[in-house]
Amino acid sequence: MAARVKRALARVNLAAVQRNCLRLGDALSGGAELCAVVKADGYGHGAAPCAEAALAGGASWIAVAAAGEAAHLRAAGVAAPLLIMGALTPAEIDVAAAAHAGVVTWDERFVAALAGRRLRVHVKLDTGMGRLGTRDVDLARRTVTAIDDADGLELAGVMTHFATADEVGDAFLGDQLAAFEPFAREVKARHPDAVIHAANSAATLREPRSHFDLVRCGVAIYGLDPFQRDPGEQGLEPALSLRSYVAAVKPAAPGQSAGYGRRWRAREPTHLATIPIGYGDGVRRALSNNADVVIRGRRYPLAGTVSMDNITVDLGPDTDVRLYDEAVLIGDGVSAEEWARRLDTINYEVTCGLTARVEREYHRDD
């Protein structure tokens, strides 16, 4: 055991990513294809291995947010069509072109900046997200025309992004669909090869009318629930577990404290385990006195303040926990959704927040 323990390890089950993609693919209507979103290093899971697993699970496109992420995937050998969904600086345009990645625009002036390179371009209509894209349908039309007229550029698609797809029962998704569809159909009538795409994971699972030609799913491919509930309700399997080990076990007498600020004190004789993982790894400090760690299949409460490199857990008065036992922080019944609730955030931020210091290890179901 001692030889195998790792200080801070994210184990990622690529077979789960593959199955989650198959599950999403099964939900698609009207021949829509699946684009797997692997930005932010695959939501903390590792972009290239997850992209390959998603492609094995039936995804036919891969999307990222930044040009450097596209370059990274190409260098790792990912050959599928790539879409860079984010805004691009002038320098990033060349990186995108070198990666043979599709780019997004919503502005004629940006089309002029793109022109002269061989690029596939998607036009984004802002139907209510209020972020990237234009709200002005005429400008979107002129942008399409500018792409048609520009040297080297090809209109690859039209897109939008939903603001409230994860809020079950909301009506705004319908409003956004109603704002998007006429423009999308109009462009498609003149550009039959243009790909219409709008849905993220939540819209894909919730609203078949949002599927169009392609859906862009991120969070769900990792088995995280876009609705912040139990991923199992959607037939999704969490792919990531976060593991460390017991680096010390010691008794704590009543009144003795653990951690900075002495925010935990023993009320009765107990034992503390020190686990060498902390906020430097993405175990957020707001989990101080507010998380459980699983050791030998049992949950133990995190005791005291999360430090940069260590946490302590309260093992109770009688303990069979030993040095080098594995400690599971996410997994074994503790979900990223549970952390998100405790932290008043979303599961996306939990896994994206795992830092580069955490070793990633890939496996398939073992």
Ligand X SMILES: Cc1ncc(COP(=O)(O)O)c(C=O)c1O
- Return residues touching ligand X (CB under 6 A): 37, 85, 161, 200-202, 216-220, 226
Residue of 39, 245, 348, 362 with catalytic role: 39
CA distance 298 to 344: 25
CA distance 179 to 231: 30
Residue of 6, 250, 260, 348 with catalytic role: 260
Helices and strands in the chain, H and E counts? 11, 19
- Residue with smaller CB distance to ligand X, 236 or 358: 236
Residues 111 and 139 sit within 8 Å (Cβ to Cβ): no
Rounded-to-5 percentages of helix, strand, coil across the chain:
35, 25, 40
**Catalytic site residue 39?**
yes
Residues 293 and 311 sit within 8 Å (Cβ to Cβ): yes
Q: Closest distance between ligand X and the C-beta of residue 37, in Å? A: 4
Q: Closest distance between ligand X and the C-beta of residue 81, in Å? A: 15
- Residue with smaller CB distance to ligand X, 49 or 133: 133
- Residue with smaller CB distance to ligand X, 216 or 271: 216
CA distance 58 to 172: 30
Q: Tokens at residue 151, please?
A: 């040297």
CA distance 333 to 50: 23
CA distance 114 to 148: 12
- Residue with smaller CB distance to ligand X, 218 or 259: 218
CA distance 258 to 30: 58
Q: Closest distance between ligand X and the C-beta of residue 124, in Å? A: 8
Q: Closest distance between ligand X and the C-beta of residue 342, in Å? A: 21
- Residue with smaller CB distance to ligand X, 59 or 315: 59
Q: Closest distance between ligand X and the C-beta of residue 63, in Å? A: 7
Strands of 9-13's sheet in order across: 298-301, 292-295, 326-330, 240-245, 9-13, 359-363
**Catalytic site residue 6?**
no
Would you please indicate which residues are annotated as catalytic (active-site) residues? 39, 260
